[in-house]
Amino acid sequence: METMSAFRAFRVHQDEGGFSAGIDVLQLSELPDSDVDIEVYYSSVNYKDGLASTPKGKVVTSYPRILGIDLAGKVIASRCREFQPGDEVLCTGYGLGVSHDGGYAEIARVPADWLVKLPEGLSLRDSMALGTAGFTAALSVDRLLLNELRPSDGPVLVRGATGGVGSVAVNILSRLGFEVVAATGKPEAEAALRSWGAADVISREAAAEGIKGALGRTRWAAVVDPVGGAGLGEILKAVKYGGSVALSGLTGGGAFEASVFPFILRGVNLLGIDSVYCPQAKRLELWERLGADWRPDQVLQDGVKEYGLEQLEDALSVVLDGKVLGRQVVALKTSN
């Protein structure tokens, strides 16, 4: 397989001249030393990528940095036995696009133990239509099921339901037989949310409406929450006895106010979801499920918008402005 010596990458810089972002042409020698070289076919756009593209995002650890916390492609060179040229692989999390050059590049070089071989049931494009957001949704559902959530327990609330985590969570939960209530700030997205499996669609304000006192009327058997922020404290008051909230994000803010009462009077569980350093065994298990019985077909068919590298800044603006509907993929090479 022929390896290009020069390649394009979307990179951010910050120095005495200020902050800048755009497409650079790089040489292979400029990539970090590591185990596996990958020709990147697709990446994805997540909220963290949006933060990394701004000087105030505070997620990139050093500059210059190729952004993109996800990638999928084919191995073109390997210095380890686990992977061989031609292998189709994906990578999400770890330091990709933050402390290690990431997936918004035609060539990437990463450690072997960060890689997952592409599971059956997913194309390279599918895997990035899921990406970190879809994997986070799967982690959230998995944790709720491990905490004994069952369809008979009642409705499951999904906050930020039109976003990456939310849309995939709606589709997976619906596929598993749950009654899903989708909360969104985009009333025009109701038809899309119902097509992805939502039984009901409510406003984000209705989901997090203020409740007087320490507890309120129970509404939710469980909650998938990639939003966080002030509304989480009110939602906790409405979770049923023994129910759980899978918390994975902060698009609504990094702080919330709550009391101990939902936890000590109703046994509510607040479950932290981390997709960055998830153990490899769990990673492999969930990616296999995403290609099989948890495959979110409706989102993959109807909820994906594709951008080229040249349009990446537009895609990053969309995610930062909270205007995402479903998933956004970045095509680096499309002949897959």
5 or 251, higher pLDDT: 251
Over residues 143-165, mean pLDDT? 97
Q: What is the mean pLDDT of residues 174-179?
A: 98
- E strand intervals along the chain: 6-15, 18-27, 36-44, 65-66, 70-78, 88-92, 107-110, 116-117, 156-158, 180-184, 200-203, 220-225, 239-247, 269-272, 304-308, 327-331
3-state secondary structure of 129: helix
What does the buried/exposed string (b/e) look like for 238-256 if buried means 16 or more CB atoms within 10 Å of the residue's CB?
bbbeebbbbbbbbbbeeeb
Distance CA 112, CA 81 (A): 9
pLDDT digits (tens, 9 = 90+) for 114-137: 999 999 999 999 999 999 999 999
Residue 2, pLDDT above cutoff 80: no
215 and 225 Cβ atoms separated by less than 8 Å: no
Number of neighbours of residue 179 by Cβ within 10 angstroms = 17
Backbone angles phi, psi at 120, to 5 degrees: -60, 145
Paired sense of beta strands 304-308 and 18-27, if any: unpaired
Nearest to 39 by CA among 48, 50, 28: 28
Res. 93: pLDDT tops 50 = yes
User: What average pLDDT does this structure show over 141-170?
Assistant: 97
Quote the pLDDT of residue 336: 42
**C-alpha–C-alpha distance, residues 285 and 264, integer Å:** 33
Q: What is the model's pLDDT at position 3?
A: 58
**What digits encode the pLDDT tens for the residues 209-238?**
999 999 999 999 999 999 999 999 999 999
* Statement: residue 285 has pLDDT above 60: yes
DSSP state letter for 293: T
248-270 pLDDT, tens digit per residue, is: 999 899 999 999 999 999 999 99
**What per-residue confidence (pLDDT) applies to 333?**
86
Q: At 198, is the pLDDT very low, low, confident or very high (cuts 50, 70, 90)?
A: very high
Mean pLDDT of the chain: 95
DSSP state, residue 33: P
